[in-house]
C-alpha cells in the first residue's frame, strides 16, 4: 500500500500546479472589536436545552436518522450518504458535551447513549460523512477492542476512498472503496474537509496514518485554492474562477482548518529557528481577517470557522473574537424547544442543533496557555514552531482527562483577552523589541494574576538575556531573578515524578511571575519527542501550579472584570499603606476588587497608595496593610497609626501568601499600638461573618485552598481583631486574602480560596463604610 501511495504522490507533485504568487506573510490585528456580552451560564444552559431537544428526537430509542427506519440496507437515503452520518454527528456532539458537563443523561453505559453507540457499532463506512463522523464518535469512547475495530474500519475507509488528487466526494461504496479511485474531476470540499477531519481523529487516537496521506490532502487544498485565498465547494470541471461570497465564507475556513491538520503531521519535525511560511495558509488568513462574518447564523459555516480558530489557535479573526461572537449568536437564536434553525443545504433542526452544541462546547473549553504574537507576521520568530503549544496542550489534556484549548493573543489585542489563560508563552531566538505601551500590557497581565513563561529557541543566550531584562522592566525592578531550586513546586508538583533543569524565576514573594528556560522545550513539543519526559511534565506542573491542583475555568470565566455603571449605594476611600518593604506584592488585587464592589454590591471603592504620615481618617475610612516578610514600624509611625484609628479609621491587614514572618510583625505592631491587648478571634455573630450589614453576604462558611489543608475539613473563617468602643478597629488574617482578590488559584498560597477571600473582603469593606463617620 505505501509503495502505491508513494508513486501516486510522486506523480501528483510532479504534475501539480504550484502557487507562484508572492504573498506577504502576515496576519495583522489591530484593536479588537467589542464583542457582544454572553456569559458562561447562558452558554451552558443553552447547551443543556440543546441536549434535551436531541434526546427527545431519537427514533427507536437509539438513533437519529430523520424519516429512515434503521436496518433497511437498500433505503435510498443510504445512497445519498446520509444513513448513519446523522446519528454519528448527533452522538459525537452529545459525547463532546458529556466530556465537559458530565450530564447523567449522557452516561455512555445507560440509555440512550448506550443504544446509539450500539447502533453505530453495527455500521461500516460507505460514505465520507458517515465514516468521518463515526470516527469522531469512537475516538471519544474508551479504548475497548470492539470500539477499536469500528475505528480501524473508518480509518481504512477514509484512507482508501481518498481520490488520487487528495480529495473526497459523495461516491458511495457499499462493498468498500476501490483503492485511490481515479475521479479527479468529481470532488467537493465538503466531503474533503470531513475526510481530513475524520482521519485526524483516527491519528489522534493512536492509529497509524501514512505520511503520504497528509501530503496528498495538503496538495489538494493547496492547488485548489483560488487566487484571492478562498476555496469554493465544487470540484467539477469548469468551476468558476472564484466562489460565491457564501461559498467562500463556508469553505475558506474549512480549507484553512484542513491545512493546519495536514501541517501538524507533515511538519512535526520542523524544529528550526525560523519558520517556513506556508503561502496557502497566509493567503487564507488574510482573507479571513478581512471577511470574517461575526453575525454568521449558518451552523455548518460556523463550525468550519470554529475548527479554523481552534486549529490555528487564533483568538481573533481580524478584530473579532470569534467564539464570543458565535456564542452570543447561538444563545440568542436558540428556539424555545432547545433546537437551532439552520439555512444551509441539507440542514434540519437535529443536524443544526448537533453543530451548535459542538461549536458552543468545544470553544468553551478552558484555555491552558496563551501564545504571544509579538511581530506582525504569522510566521514570525514568535511562531517558529507552529505546533509547539498546540501539542503540549493536547498532551496535558490527555493526561489530565480534561478538555483544554490554547490560543494565540496578539500584542496589540486587549489584556482582558489574555486573561482567558493564567499562562502566557513567549518564544524566540532573537531579542524582540517591545514599546513602553507593550511592556505596560505585559505588566498589566502579570499584575492581574498571570504568569509568563519564556522559551529560548535553540537555547539562545541573546533571547534569554532579553527576557530577563524584560521581566525586570515589567516588575519595575522591584524583584530579582533567582534560579529555581530542585525543591521548587514547579519540579515537585507530582509526588511520583521529580525532576530538574535550570529555570530562572521572578517572584513577588507570593507566586512566580516570570519564568525563563534556556532548555528549548518548544523544540520537544513541536517534534513530539515524548521520551524527553521532563519537558512534558514541566508544563503539566505549570498547569497544576496555576490551578492549585484543580481545574481551569472555561473560556468565558475570564479573570477580567468589566467596568459597570451600576448605581452606587455607598462610597469608601481605602489606602494601601506604603512602607519600606514588599508593601504591594499584588498591585492588581484591590483595583479588581473595586470593580467587583461596584458590580456586585453597589459600592464605589476608591483605592490609592498612602504613606503612613499622610493618613487622614476623615477622608480614608479603611487602610490595608499587607506583606510577605518581616516589617517594623518606628514609634512615630505607630503613633500615626494609632491617631488614624482613634479618629475613626479602620485597619485591615493580611499576610500575602499566608507568610508567617508577616504575621509575627503584625503581632508586634498590635502590641505597640495597644499594649496588653491581644488579637482576639471574631465571634461567629460578627456582621463581618454573618453578612448582616447593608451590602454584605454570609461568610460563615468558607473554602480554603488545597495546599496545607489536605485531610483538614476546615470551613470556618479565622479572622482576628481588636475592638474599641463597640467597633472593630483592626482586622487581621494570617491567611491570605489579598491574592484571592485576583481570582487566581495559584498553588502555594495559604489559605482562602478566591471566592471566600472576596466574600470576606466585601464584608470588611461594607463594615468600614457603615462605621466611617
pLDDT tens profile 300-320: 999 999 999 999 999 999 999
Nearest partner of 666 among 644, 694, 641, 698, judged by Cα: 641
CA distance 497 to 522: 21
Residue 181 has a pLDDT of: 59
Cα 293 to Cα 35, 105, 287, 301, 319: the distances in Å are: 13, 35, 11, 10, 11
* Mean pLDDT score, 662-676: 95
* Mean pLDDT score, 238-258: 83
pLDDT digits (tens, 9 = 90+) for 285-303: 999 999 999 999 999 999 9
pLDDT digits (tens, 9 = 90+) for 522-578: 999 999 999 999 999 999 999 999 999 999 999 999 899 989 989 999 999 999 999
Residue 12 has a pLDDT of: 38
Radius of gyration of the chain from Cα atoms?
Answer: 29
* Per-residue three-class SS string for 427-469: EECCCCCCCHHHHHHHHHHHHCCCEEEEEEHHHCHHHHHHHHH
Q: How many CB atoms lie within 10 A of CB 432?
A: 18
Residue 123 has a pLDDT of: 85
pLDDT of residue 135 exceeding 70, the answer is: yes
**pTM of the entire structure?**
0.92
Residue 520 has a pLDDT of: 96
* Mean pLDDT score, 256-263: 97
> What are the E-state strand segments in 366-431?
367-373, 405-410, 423-428
pLDDT of residue 190 exceeding 90, the answer is: yes
Cα 508 to Cα 443, 584, 668, 757: the distances in Å are: 13, 9, 24, 19
pLDDT of residue 728 exceeding 70, the answer is: yes
Q: End-to-end CA distance of the chain, in Å?
A: 86
> What are the E-state strand segments in 579-724?
603-611, 622-627, 650-655, 680-681, 720-724
Which long-range contacts link 706-710 to residues 24+ away (Cβ below 8 Å)?
706/548, 706/549, 706/550, 706/747, 707/548, 707/549, 707/747, 707/748, 707/749, 707/750, 708/658, 708/750, 708/751, 709/751
More confident residue, 135 or 84: 135
Residue 271 has a pLDDT of: 78
Share of the chain above pLDDT 90, in %: 80
Residue 77 has a pLDDT of: 44
More confident residue, 187 or 61: 187
Contact 413, 445 (CB under 8 A): no
* Mean pLDDT score, 465-472: 98
More confident residue, 37 or 353: 353
Residue 345 has a pLDDT of: 74
* Mean pLDDT score, 694-718: 83
What is the chain's mean pLDDT, rounded?
90
Would you place residue 232 in the very low, low, confident or very high pLDDT band (cuts 50, 70, 90)? very high
More confident residue, 24 or 648: 648
Residue 74 has a pLDDT of: 45
Residue 174 has a pLDDT of: 57
Contact 640, 613 (CB under 8 A): yes
More confident residue, 710 or 713: 713
* Mean pLDDT score, 215-235: 92
Would you place residue 32 in the very low, low, confident or very high pLDDT band (cuts 50, 70, 90)? low
Buried b or exposed e, range 207-229, using 16+ CB within 10 angstroms: bebeebbbbbbbbbbbebbbebb
What grid cell was written down for 637?
509611625
pLDDT digits (tens, 9 = 90+) for 568-617: 999 999 999 999 999 999 999 999 999 999 999 999 999 999 999 999 99
Residue 170 has a pLDDT of: 81
Would you place residue 2 in the very low, low, confident or very high pLDDT band (cuts 50, 70, 90)? very low
* Mean pLDDT score, 226-239: 78
pLDDT digits (tens, 9 = 90+) for 321-345: 999 999 999 999 999 999 999 777 7
What grid cell was written down for 558?
475570564
Would you place residue 36 in the very low, low, confident or very high pLDDT band (cuts 50, 70, 90)? confident
What grid cell was written down for 532?
524527553
> What are the E-state strand segments in 292-422?
316-317, 320-321, 367-373, 405-410
Weakest-pLDDT range from 67-71, 214-218, 446-450: 67-71
More confident residue, 174 or 555: 555
What grid cell was written down for 569?
449605594
* Mean pLDDT score, 491-516: 95
pLDDT of residue 17 exceeding 50, the answer is: no
Cα 55 to Cα 331, 348, 349, 499: the distances in Å are: 19, 15, 13, 48
Buried b or exposed e, range 98-135, using 16+ CB within 10 angstroms: bbbeeeeebeeeeebbeebbebbbebbbbbbbbbbbbb
Q: How many residues does the chain have?
A: 773
Residue 663 has a pLDDT of: 95
Dihedral pair phi/psi, residue 114, rounded to 5°: -60, -40
Q: How many CB atoms lie within 10 A of CB 680?
A: 10
pLDDT of residue 490 exceeding 90, the answer is: yes
Residue 209 has a pLDDT of: 95
**Omega into 112 within 30° of 0, i.e. cis?**
yes
pLDDT digits (tens, 9 = 90+) for 358-410: 999 999 999 999 999 999 999 999 999 999 999 999 999 999 989 999 999 99
pLDDT digits (tens, 9 = 90+) for 401-439: 899 999 999 999 999 999 999 999 999 999 999 999 999
Amino acid at each position: 500500500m505505501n509503495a502505491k501511495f508513494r508513486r501516486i504522490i510522486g506523480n501528483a507533485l510532479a504534475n501539480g500546479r504550484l502557487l507562484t504568487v508572492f504573498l506577504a506573510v502576515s496576519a495583522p490585528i489591530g484593536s479588537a472589536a467589542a464583542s457582544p456580552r454572553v456569559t458562561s451560564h447562558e452558554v451552558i444552559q443553552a447547551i443543556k436545552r440543546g441536549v434535551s431537544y436531541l434526546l427527545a428526537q431519537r427514533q427507536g430509542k437509539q438513533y437519529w436518522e430523520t424519516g429512515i427506519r434503521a436496518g433497511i440496507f437498500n433505503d435510498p437515503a443510504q445512497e445519498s450518504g446520509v444513513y448513519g452520518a446523522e446519528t454519528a454527528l448527533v452522538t459525537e456532539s452529545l459525547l463532546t458535551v458529556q466530556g465537559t458537563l458530565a450530564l447523567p443523561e449522557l452516561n455512555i453505559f445507560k440509555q440512550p447513549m448506550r443504544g446509539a453507540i450500539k447502533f453505530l457499532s453495527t455500521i461500516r463506512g460507505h460514505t465520507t460523512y458517515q465514516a468521518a463522523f463515526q470516527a469522531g464518535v469512537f475516538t471519544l469512547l474508551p479504548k475497548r477492542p470492539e470500539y477499536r475495530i469500528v475505528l480501524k474500519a473508518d480509518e481504512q475507509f477514509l484512507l482508501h476512498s481518498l481520490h488520487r488528487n487528495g480529495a473526497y466526494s459523495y461516491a458511495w461504496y457499499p462493498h468498500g472503496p476501490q483503492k485511490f479511485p481515479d475521479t479527479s474531476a468529481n470532488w467537493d470540499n465538503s466531503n474533503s474537509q470531513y475526510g481530513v477531519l475524520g482521519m485526524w481523529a483516527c491519528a489522534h487516537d493512536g492509529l497509524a496514518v501514512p505520511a503520504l496521506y497528509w501530503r496528498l490532502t495538503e496538495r489538494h487544498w493547496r492547488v485548489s485554492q483560488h487566487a484571492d485565498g478562498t476555496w469554493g465547494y465544487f470540484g467539477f470541471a469548469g468551476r468558476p474562477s472564484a466562489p460565491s461570497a457564501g461559498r467562500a465564507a463556508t469553505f475558506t475556513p474549512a480549507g484553512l482548518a484542513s491545512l493546519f491538520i495536514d501541517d501538524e503531521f507533515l511538519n512535526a519535525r520542523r524544529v528550526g529557528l525560523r519558520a517556513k511560511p506556508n503561502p496557502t495558509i497566509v493567503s487564507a488568513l488574510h482573507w479571513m481577517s478581512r471577511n470574517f462574518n461575526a453575525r454568521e447564523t449558518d451552523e455548518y459555516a460556523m463550525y468550519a470557522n470554529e475548527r479554523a480558530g481552534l486549529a490555528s489557535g487564533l483568538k481573533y479573526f481580524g478584530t473579532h473574537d470569534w467564539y464570543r461572537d458565535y456564542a452570543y449568536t447561538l444563545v440568542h437564536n436558540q428556539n424555545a424547544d432547545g433546537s437551532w434553525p439552520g439555512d444551509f443545504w441539507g440542514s434540519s433542526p437535529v443536524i443544526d442543533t448537533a453543530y451548535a452544541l459542538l461549536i458552543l462546547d468545544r470553544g468553551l473549553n478552558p484555555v491552558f496557555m496563551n501564545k504571544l504574537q509579538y511581530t506582525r507576521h504569522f510566521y514570525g520568530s514568535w511562531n517558529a514552531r507552529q505546533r509547539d503549544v498546540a501539542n503540549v496542550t493536547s498532551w496535558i489534556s490527555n493526561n489530565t482527562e480534561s478538555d483544554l484549548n490554547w490560543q494565540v493573543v496578539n500584542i496589540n489585542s486587549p489584556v482582558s483577552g489574555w486573561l482567558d489563560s493564567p499562562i502566557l508563552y513567549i518564544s524566540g531566538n532573537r531579542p524582540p523589541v517591545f514599546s513602553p505601551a507593550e511592556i505596560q500590557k505585559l505588566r498589566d497581565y502579570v499584575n492581574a494574576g498571570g504568569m509568563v513563561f519564556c522559551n529560548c529557541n535553540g537555547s539562545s543566550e541573546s533571547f534569554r538575556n532579553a527576557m530577563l531584562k524584560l521581566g525586570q522592566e515589567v516588575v519595575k525592578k522591584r524583584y530579582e531573578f533567582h534560579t529555581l531550586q530542585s525543591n521548587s513546586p514547579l519540579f515537585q508538583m507530582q509526588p511520583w515524578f521529580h525532576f530538574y533543569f535550570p529555570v530562572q524565576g521572578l517572584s513577588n514573594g507570593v507566586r512566580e511571575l516570570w519564568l525563563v528556560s534556556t532548555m528549548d522545550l518548544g523544540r520537544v513539543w513541536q517534534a513530539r519527542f515524548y521520551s524527553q519526559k521532563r519537558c512534558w511534565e514541566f508544563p503539566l506542573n505549570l498547569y497544576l501550579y496555576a490551578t492549585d491542583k484543580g481545574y481551569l475555568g472555561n473560556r468565558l470565566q475570564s479573570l477580567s472584570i468589566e467596568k459597570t455603571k451600576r448605581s452606587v449605594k455607598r462610597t469608601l476611600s481605602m489606602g494601601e499603606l506604603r512602607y519600606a518593604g514588599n508593601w504591594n506584592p499584588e498591585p492588581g488585587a484591590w483595583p479588581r476588587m473595586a470593580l467587583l464592589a461596584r458590580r456586585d454590591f453597589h459600592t464605589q471603592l476608591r483605592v490609592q497608595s498612602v504613606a503612613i504620615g499622610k493618613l487622614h481618617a476623615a477622608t480614608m475610612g479603611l487602610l490595608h496593610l499587607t506583606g510577605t516578610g518581616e516589617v517594623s514600624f518606628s514609634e512615630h509611625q505607630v503613633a500615626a497609626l494609632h491617631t488614624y484609628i482613634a479618629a475613626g479609621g479602620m485597619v485591615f491587614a493580611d499576610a500575602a501568601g499566608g507568610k508567617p514572618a508577616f504575621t509575627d510583625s503584625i503581632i508586634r505592631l498590635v502590641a505597640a499600638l495597644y499594649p496588653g491587648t491581644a488579637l482576639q478571634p471574631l465571634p461567629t455573630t460578627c456582621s463581618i461573618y454573618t453578612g448582616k450589614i447593608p451590602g454584605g453576604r454570609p461568610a460563615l462558611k468558607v473554602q480554603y485552598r488545597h495546599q496545607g489543608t489536605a485531610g483538614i475539613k476546615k470551613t470556618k473563617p479565622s479572622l482576628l481583631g481588636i475592638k474599641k468602643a463597640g467597633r472593630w478597629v483592626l482586622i487581621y488574617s494570617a491567611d491570605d486574602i489579598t491574592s484571592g482578590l485576583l481570582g487566581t488559584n495559584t498553588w502555594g498560597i495559604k489559605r482562602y480560596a478566591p471566592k471566600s477571600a472576596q466574600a470576606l473582603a466585601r464584608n470588611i469593606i461594607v463594615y468600614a463604610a457603615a462605621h466611617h463617620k
